[in-house]
Chains A and B, each alone.
Chain A
Amino acid sequence: MDKRTEIRLAGEGGQGMILAGIILAEAAAIYDGKQATQTQSYGPEARGGASRSEVVISDGEIDHPEVLEADVVVALSQEAYKKFAGSVRPGGLLIVDEERVTLDPEVEAVRLPISRLAKETTGKSITANTVALGALVGLTGVVSRQAIEKAVLARAPKGTEEMNRRALEAGFQAVQKLRVA
């Protein structure tokens, strides 16, 4: 069977995690020529509540389209962390926004100040989802850097391309520093 990578992106409704999932799947399927499925679940609330987006990426055909055992979980809120941190497979990767998520003592995670980086880099905390994508791709290489950049720019509303490019870059930089340290 082809190796599949399963990613779960979670946050509060309104943080753009479903869009982040769509962009990641587009990076894989359109720009890297891989197979990808994106599914989502959301509550009836437009904002608040826990919203999650799931992306499965593979070189070959994807059968079951949902995450079975996550290789990567990104949690941008405490509720998302509480709900989905346990769904990371052993040896998998958990990425959290360190300023919004308090980790339980035994939990290992890559802690990044995702919302703060977004605010500092672009002046807008709503670019946190793009920062998160930069960090995710920087850490995992699940899609190529060119692919995620093209996918982010293709989805960025007119006039916000540069802002989104910088947000993505901030995510990459943050994990570079992590590696050096």
Chain B
Amino acid sequence: MSVKLMQGNEAIALGAIAAGCRFYAGYPITPSSEVAEVMARELPKVGGKFIQMEDEIASMAAIIGARVGGLKSMTATSGPGFSLMQENLGYAVMAEIPCVVVNVQRLGPSTGQPTAASQGDVMQARWGTHGDHPIIALSPISVSQAFDLTVKAFNLSEKYRTPVILLTDEIIGHMREPIELPDFTTVEKYEHVVTEPPETYKPYSNRTDVPPMAAFGRGYRYHITGLFHDEVGFPTQRLDEVEPWLERVNSKLERNPDDILLYQADYQPGARVAILSYGATARTARHAVKQMRARGEKVNLFTAYTLWPFPEKAVEALADSVERIIVPEMNLGQLALEVERVAGRRKVTRVNRANGEMVTPDMILAAMER
């Protein structure tokens, strides 16, 4: 292993290849374009396919189709493109097609500011596509973790047959930091094993949380639709078929919290205040916490790597440990809504910056005085 200096976006692309991604479809957009650049250069070297699509609607459709055909797939975009992907993202949820969608957040709404940083798509990642649905969103705090969480995104996506959103930001995407890349052959990869013969295979069997997925073109045939469907995939309106599906799909993530909910809780006995953050802002939070601790002040630090599903039990424990939780974000208060839901509004102090610039350590320190 050797140390390289690399952008977060490059680390995401390499993480995808290490995780077994062999299909990328996308439409370049700042600040995510380096993901496409690296994929275009590196995927063909490992026998993968890169397609530049006509837009993000088609990109999302293409990665779903590729995975149905048996290739692990990914796309990368930013806010405007992520908006266009919402419809097909819901389709992937409904049809339980694994895929990874990278959103390198920039300042919005609309085309906003391409090179300005933001964490403004947190709620869109959760609720951007219509209807109740499960979703996983992971958010790295460093270049090195951008690689690791991309691998994790693929594995969770496969294991739970759900799209996973890698929700990063312009800071992490464009920042260069040292990273030691592992030998890609040693990287853990989740693969579906289908033991059932094609005649009796049920792609949407409700007997387990996640039925194994057979790829098309290998003797397995089944129906795929965005309509509610029965265990073999055909549309149905029968409640005795719809309800087991609803129950299974909407609880498959929450039944496996230890696997999915990634966070770091750094407690100091006697602390009365905690800081909770994620993404690039987590770096600022750490900076502020180290300053406070150097002055002898006690403070708890909670870093969320999984934003969705929200790690509510862990945040509940955090809320029980302190009188106040400070939530800095590069938006007008999005994950803070979840923290408030769990901890109660009066316990939460928001620190917001939504002008394209990072939150600073001083802004967090000032909130301590409030």
Distance, CA A42 to CA B113, complexed state (A)? 12
Closest CB-CB distance, A43 to chain B, in whole Å? 8
Are B280 and A65 in contact, with the CB atoms below 8 A?
yes
Contacting residues, chain A, for B286 (C-beta < 8 A) = 63-64
Which size bracket describes the interface of B in this complex?
A: 20 to 34
User: Given the known A-B contacts A1-B291, A30-B5, are A64 and B358 also in contact in the complex, defined by CB atoms under 8 Å?
Assistant: yes
Are B361 and A64 in contact, with the CB atoms below 8 A?
yes
Q: Which of B67-75, B78-86, B100-108, B171-179 contacts A (4 or more CB under 8 A)?
A: B171-179
Q: Does A15 contact B (CB under 8 A)?
A: no
User: Given the known A-B contacts A1-B294, A37-B175, A40-B174, are A26 and B283 also in contact in the complex, defined by CB atoms under 8 Å?
Assistant: no
Closest CB-CB distance, B256 to chain A, in whole Å? 31
Distance, CA A173 to CA B158, complexed state (A)? 58
Most buried by B among A37, A44, A68: A37
**Among A35, A44, A63, A68, which residue has its beta carbon within 8 angstroms of that of B178?**
A35
- A sample of 8 inter-chain contacts (CB < 8 A) reads A22-B176, A29-B177, A37-B177, A39-B176, A44-B115, A63-B287, A64-B284, A64-B286
Q: Does A77 contact B (CB under 8 A)?
A: no
Q: Does A38 contact B (CB under 8 A)?
A: yes
**Among B114, B283, B291, which residue has its beta carbon within 8 angstroms of that of A65?**
B283
Are A42 and B178 in contact, with the CB atoms below 8 A?
no
Residues of B268-298 at the interface with A, using a CB-CB cut-off of 8 Å, are 280, 283-284, 286-287, 290-291, 294
Are A63 and B176 in contact, with the CB atoms below 8 A?
no
0/1 per residue, B1-19, Cβ < 8 Å to A? 0011100000000000000
Residues of A63-88 at the interface with B, using a CB-CB cut-off of 8 Å, are 63-66, 68
* CB-nearest residue of chain B to A31: B3
Are A1 and B361 in contact, with the CB atoms below 8 A?
no
Q: Does B355 contact A (CB under 8 A)?
A: no
**Among A30, A42, A62, A65, which residue has its beta carbon within 8 angstroms of that of B4?**
A30
Q: Which residues from chain A sit less than 8 Å from chain B, CB to CB?
A: 1, 22, 25-26, 29-30, 35-42, 44, 62-66, 68
Given contacts A39-B171, A39-B174, A64-B361, 6 further A-B contacts (CB under 8 A): A38-B5, A38-B176, A39-B175, A41-B115, A63-B287, A65-B175
Are A29 and B280 in contact, with the CB atoms below 8 A?
no
Are A65 and B178 in contact, with the CB atoms below 8 A?
no
User: Given the known A-B contacts A29-B5, A38-B5, A41-B115, are A68 and B177 also in contact in the complex, defined by CB atoms under 8 Å?
Assistant: no
Are A68 and B5 in contact, with the CB atoms below 8 A?
no
Are B284 and A36 in contact, with the CB atoms below 8 A?
no
**Among B5, B115, B174, B287, which residue has its beta carbon within 8 angstroms of that of A36?**
B5
Are B291 and A30 in contact, with the CB atoms below 8 A?
no
Q: Does B321 contact A (CB under 8 A)?
A: no
Contacting residues, chain B, for A35 (C-beta < 8 A) = 178
**Among A26, A39, A41, A44, which residue has its beta carbon within 8 angstroms of that of B5?**
A26
Q: Does B360 contact A (CB under 8 A)?
A: yes
Contacting residues, chain B, for A39 (C-beta < 8 A) = 171, 174-176
Are A63 and B5 in contact, with the CB atoms below 8 A?
no
Contacting residues, chain A, for B175 (C-beta < 8 A) = 37-39, 65
Are B360 and A64 in contact, with the CB atoms below 8 A?
yes
Contacting residues, chain B, for A37 (C-beta < 8 A) = 175-177
Closest CB-CB distance, A42 to chain B, in whole Å? 7
Distance, CA A38 to CA B171, complexed state (A)? 10
Contacting residues, chain B, for A1 (C-beta < 8 A) = 290-291, 294
Are B283 and A25 in contact, with the CB atoms below 8 A?
no
Closest CB-CB distance, B171 to chain A, in whole Å? 7
Distance, CA A17 to CA B3, complexed state (A)? 23
Distance, CA A1 to CA B5, complexed state (A)? 23
Closest CB-CB distance, B168 to chain A, in whole Å? 13
Are B287 and A29 in contact, with the CB atoms below 8 A?
no
Contacting residues, chain B, for A42 (C-beta < 8 A) = 115
Are A30 and B171 in contact, with the CB atoms below 8 A?
no
Are B4 and A36 in contact, with the CB atoms below 8 A?
no
Closest CB-CB distance, B116 to chain A, in whole Å? 9
Distance, CA A37 to CA B115, complexed state (A)? 18
